[in-house]
A and B are shown apart, each in its own frame.
Chain A
Amino acid sequence: MKRALTLAASVLALAAAPAAAQDFVITNATLATGDGSEPIERGVVVVVDGKVAYAGPQAGAGAFETDTVYDVAGAWVTPGLVATVTTLGLADVSGVSESNDVRPGSSPFNAALDVAPAINPSSQHILVHRAAGITRAATVTSPAGSIFGGQGAIIDLGADGQPVTRAKAFQVVAFGEGGARLAGGSRVATYVAFANALREAQDFARGRWDAESAMLTRADAEALGPVAAGEQALYVSVERASDIRSVLGLKRDFPRLDLVLVGASEGWLVAREIAAAGVPVIADGLDDLPNSFEELASTQSNVGRLAKAGVKVAINAATMENPRNLNQYAGNLVALARIPGADGLSWGQAFAAISSVPASISGLGGKAGVLAPGSMGDVVIWDGDPLEVGSVPTKVFIDGVEQPLDNHQTRLRDRYRELDESRLPEAFDW
């Protein structure tokens, strides 16, 4: 009981005064920097003022001064994972509608929606995923009232009151079957809805928008301006090969679009065209079922084949049960490389697909998902190979600040370590 009380007191103290970034050095690491390279032995990471000052072989580390040295004795050290296309911070329990801000289905606004002020950094899902080594995430609402879903944010999963790294980082739009349903029941309608919205946005930006004849709300017309101007990335949900071609073709009418494909289950069938267009893909990692008619060709080799064709490809967190499975998915893509006829990834590529590549797509290239001079001090020390099932972090730093790893789940775990009711009721054990 006494031990639990002490724990509670320390948690309280932490909540009241979040720790400041502390300079530190990690030595003797099995170091994966996240850039696609293979891990190196006896690596060193130096973090100063919340940023990485050095990450690499011990030989190149030079001199540094700090009181805080973590000799991890060969343990794996990586940048924090970057989960893209999540709802982290937008729901406590997805099945409890009162707690769920993911689908603003009856809002008159769509493209103008901005998730940033709704993010709750105390959501248990944020806490649990922080403990799983995810330090940054892209959080989005789902298109519900129109093909446009609103503006997603890049967040950090730190234990403080400022979760937003970058608000309005990208706009979301649905094509394919989902977009067809929202546009009026047909893919044909989606393209008209999209073109009309972009033209109204352009009109708005030029001061020619006319509320009387417009179909968009003023807020939506304004919000789509940066999309039309290519200043804000556009995440396009699309699965079927033919739909992907049509989405790539949108650039004929709107050449400035900064497209990112999300889903792209049949991407491998048009991998060369995607590569030629220079469009990155946030791909469903392990989907291999014809879940719908737009995913008939889905295969676990999708990511490997896209990568082979030269596409910048990250693993989509949206299609897994929860984003904490990102590393498991990446590990599976490594396993696939051993199956004749399948296409997988090397370990370094697979890890990059859940770290530096999603960071780069998120506009944090060189800053997150990678350990390199000047990158954010998001560092994770693991109890095993981070792509192996069951591996978890032993320490997580965000912006150089060590993070608490406890949450509702760990508290339940500690309460039920034994089923002993001989003393006080469980309710007093906290």
Chain B
Amino acid sequence: MRKSIKTIAAGTLAIALAACSTTGQTDTKSASSAPAKSETPFPSTYTPYPGTPTALVNATIFDGKGGRIDNGTVFFSGGKIVSIGGPHTPVPADIAVFDGTGKFVTPGIIDIHSHLGDYPTPSVQAHSDGNEATSPTTPEVWAEHSVWPQDPGFTRALANGGVTSLQILPGSANLMGGRSATLKNVPARTVQGMKFPDAPYGFKMACGENPKRVYGGRGRMPSTRMGNFAVNRQTWLDAKAYDGKKRDLAKETLKGVLDGEILVHNHCYRADEMALVLDMAKEMGYKVSAFHHAVEAYKIGDLLRENDVCSAIWADWYGFKMESYDGILENAAFLHREDACVVIHSDDANGIQRLNQEAAKAQAAGKRVGIDISDAQVIRWITLNPAKAMGIDGMTGSLEAGKMADVVLWNGDPLSVYSRPEKVWIDGALMFDAMDRKRRPVSDFELGQPGEGDVK
């Protein structure tokens, strides 16, 4: 096995002490060059599971960047993509070769918005660890401290959804919900064993109905949308005045956002509210990486493009709350038309198993109104675009030489309801194989229970 638990604990202590003397002045060039790992008190201990050099040949490949290769080859070794190309791409002899005739290859699917582990199943009260709903702003909490690695939902996302990386967010009760955790979707005993190495932290914020309902219901601020903004702005101003002399977990996170090292993921449905958030971000000097649940993004596609903000959306959720009443099926297509960044997300332990189908629904809605978006571009919505908004696009999200070998072999067109992942590799290790029941993970919780080991 990898690092023992004891070693991790000792390491954590040393790093936590070290963090006192650093002030987070890392010069961050891009979102994907994260702050130095040594500043993180709960460092990733993830190491890839063993893999063998593998080539997938004769498949239709969507590279995640918008490219398509018919009769293509992907070759990976040492956990990295080595080469990708047409039928004449050289592949070493004596390695595992899978014939992909009639099959499709995509990068591993990435869900930018998941609560697996922090709202795990069984979804009993004892497992309700997603919302620290005790104060409207809790920048000090970190989702990784809630994630239960044994959540059976991780395995379903792998087997049915081909999900290889995902961002676990705290919930949306609070204006500022805390830090996210970016994970590799592998079975592990500890959350550190799942943490995506060198991924930057995300920061969850929430607009609109949720914070005002939760706190207004308790007779405290915020109880209105104007209250939401007032609390947010004052919290940012206080953070800007933070001198770092005495450690303050909340302000360390906010400072990380202001320094561009932590990426803001803002739950926000309504177009008018997103526009206000963008102004607030300018006022305070931070950037929004993605609006999540951006049901009305289609109304401001131009503004979102100009501000380089992704919209993480469902294909067709609408009408379940007031701020979702203007949801339309063409949301993604209209954003695409404006050249704004589209991400299809789940926020759901079932939906994460079918992100490919949700993307296909959004594509079809566009086609009906004359917006023809290629299959290869649509796959980008669930691979490279979420990776970009999560700051891991330098490492995964597309099939390019040197990137992590996070790869899905589908038994048919991934944009068809009739297709399923046949094999899923994470960093070159075969983590799921529909044809081999021993490559089907069973979480600790499921052992000895009815249905253990079923295909699910």
Enumerate chain A interface residues (CB-CB to B < 8 A): 92-96, 124-125, 128, 241, 266, 269, 286-293, 295-301, 321-322, 324-325, 328, 331-332, 334-336, 338-342, 383-384, 387-392, 408-410, 412-413, 416-417, 419
B156-172 interface with A by 8 A CB criterion: 156, 160
B156:A288 contact, CB within 8 angstroms: yes
A266:B450 contact, CB within 8 angstroms: yes
Q: Does B278 contact A (CB under 8 A)?
A: no
A413:B361 contact, CB within 8 angstroms: no
Could you list 20 examples of A-B contacts with CB < 8 Å? A93-B322, A95-B209, A95-B322, A288-B156, A288-B160, A293-B122, A296-B446, A296-B450, A296-B451, A297-B451, A297-B454, A321-B316, A322-B316, A322-B319, A335-B418, A335-B419, A336-B420, A408-B326, A409-B328, A410-B328
Nearest residue (CB) in A for B320 is: A94
Nearest residue (CB) in B for A297 is: B451
User: Known contacts being A290-B152, A298-B451, A413-B328, is A388 close to B417, with CB within 8 Å?
Assistant: yes
User: Known contacts being A93-B319, A291-B121, A419-B302, is A299 close to B451, with CB within 8 Å?
Assistant: yes
- Chain B residues with CB under 8 Å of A291's CB are 121-123
Stretch at the interface among B64-72, B362-370, B387-395: B362-370
- Chain B residues with CB under 8 Å of A289's CB are 121, 152-153, 156, 349-350
Q: What is the bound-complex CA distance between A23 and B321, given in angstroms?
A: 41
Q: Does B63 contact A (CB under 8 A)?
A: no
Q: What is the bound-complex CA distance between A321 and B324, given in angstroms?
A: 13
User: Known contacts being A289-B350, A290-B121, is A338 close to B360, with CB within 8 Å?
Assistant: no
Q: What is the bound-complex CA distance between A87 and B124, given in angstroms?
A: 25
- Chain B residues with CB under 8 Å of A392's CB are 364, 368
- Chain B residues with CB under 8 Å of A95's CB are 209, 320-322
A297:B450 contact, CB within 8 angstroms: yes
9 more contacts with CB within 8 A, not counting A288-B456, A413-B369, A417-B334, are: A286-B350, A288-B353, A296-B451, A301-B456, A321-B316, A322-B319, A340-B455, A389-B357, A416-B330
Q: What is the bound-complex CA distance between A134 and B351, given in angstroms?
A: 22
Q: What is the bound-complex CA distance between A388 and B364, given in angstroms?
A: 10
- Chain A residues with CB under 8 Å of B415's CB are 389
- Chain B residues with CB under 8 Å of A339's CB are 420, 434, 455
Q: What is the bound-complex CA distance between A392 and B368, given in angstroms?
A: 9
B328:A412 contact, CB within 8 angstroms: yes
Q: What is the bound-complex CA distance between A410 and B446, given in angstroms?
A: 45
- Chain A residues with CB under 8 Å of B403's CB are none
- Chain B residues with CB under 8 Å of A408's CB are 325-326
- Chain A residues with CB under 8 Å of B139's CB are none
Q: What is the bound-complex CA distance between A387 and B361, given in angstroms?
A: 12
Q: Does B338 contact A (CB under 8 A)?
A: yes
- Chain A residues with CB under 8 Å of B121's CB are 289-292
Return the contact of B338 from the options A128, A299, A338, A419 (Cβ within 8 A): A419
Q: What is the bound-complex CA distance between A291 and B153, given in angstroms?
A: 9
- Chain B residues with CB under 8 Å of A124's CB are 319
Q: Does B445 contact A (CB under 8 A)?
A: yes
User: Known contacts being A124-B319, A296-B449, is A331 close to B418, with CB within 8 Å?
Assistant: yes
- Chain A residues with CB under 8 Å of B324's CB are 93
Q: Does B327 contact A (CB under 8 A)?
A: yes
Q: Does B233 contact A (CB under 8 A)?
A: no
- Chain A residues with CB under 8 Å of B319's CB are 92-94, 124-125, 128, 322
Nearest residue (CB) in B for A337 is: B418
B456:A299 contact, CB within 8 angstroms: yes
- Chain A residues with CB under 8 Å of B411's CB are 338
Q: What is the count of residue pairs linking A and B with beta-carbon distances less than 8 angstroms?
A: 163
- Chain A residues with CB under 8 Å of B445's CB are 290
Interface flags, B311-349, vs A, CB<8A=1, else 0: 000101111111011111110001000100000000011
B417:A416 contact, CB within 8 angstroms: no
Return the contact of A389 from the options B152, B353, B360 (Cβ within 8 A): B360
Nearest residue (CB) in B for A343 is: B455
Minimum CB–CB distance from B309 to chain A (whole Å) comes to: 16
Return the contact of B361 from the options A125, A300, A389, A410 (Cβ within 8 A): A389
Nearest residue (CB) in B for A286 is: B350
Q: Does B298 contact A (CB under 8 A)?
A: yes
Nearest residue (CB) in B for A292 is: B122
A416:B349 contact, CB within 8 angstroms: no
- Chain B residues with CB under 8 Å of A331's CB are 417-418
- Chain A residues with CB under 8 Å of B40's CB are none
Q: Does B435 contact A (CB under 8 A)?
A: yes
- Chain B residues with CB under 8 Å of A410's CB are 328
- Chain B residues with CB under 8 Å of A417's CB are 334, 369
Q: What is the bound-complex CA distance between A321 and B314, given in angstroms?
A: 11
Return the contact of A290 from the options B301, B321, B365, B449 (Cβ within 8 A): B449
Nearest residue (CB) in A for B151 is: A289
- Chain A residues with CB under 8 Å of B360's CB are 389-390
User: Known contacts being A341-B437, A419-B338, is A390 close to B365, with CB within 8 Å?
Assistant: yes
Q: Does B299 contact A (CB under 8 A)?
A: yes
- Chain B residues with CB under 8 Å of A292's CB are 121-124
A93:B417 contact, CB within 8 angstroms: no
A338:B363 contact, CB within 8 angstroms: no
Nearest residue (CB) in B for A327 is: B417
Q: Does B416 contact A (CB under 8 A)?
A: yes
Residue with the greatest number of chain B CB neighbours at <10 A, chosen from A124, A287, A338 = A338
Return the contact of B368 from the options A293, A295, A383, A388 (Cβ within 8 A): A383
A290:B363 contact, CB within 8 angstroms: no
Q: What is the bound-complex CA distance between A328 and B301, given in angstroms?
A: 28
Q: What is the bound-complex CA distance between A313 and B420, given in angstroms?
A: 23
Minimum CB–CB distance from B305 to chain A (whole Å) comes to: 10
- Chain B residues with CB under 8 Å of A334's CB are 417-418
Nearest residue (CB) in A for B327 is: A409
Q: What is the bound-complex CA distance between A297 and B324, given in angstroms?
A: 33
- Chain A residues with CB under 8 Å of B153's CB are 289
- Chain B residues with CB under 8 Å of A325's CB are 316
- Chain A residues with CB under 8 Å of B454's CB are 297, 299, 301, 341
Interface flags, B98-133, vs A, CB<8A=1, else 0: 000000000000000000000001111000000000
Minimum CB–CB distance from A86 to chain B (whole Å) comes to: 13
A413:B330 contact, CB within 8 angstroms: yes
Residue with the greatest number of chain B CB neighbours at <10 A, chosen from A95, A293, A298 = A95
- Chain B residues with CB under 8 Å of A93's CB are 319-322, 324-325
- Chain B residues with CB under 8 Å of A336's CB are 420
The 6 closest A-B pairs by CB, nearest first: A390-B364, A297-B451, A331-B417, A95-B321, A297-B450, A288-B456
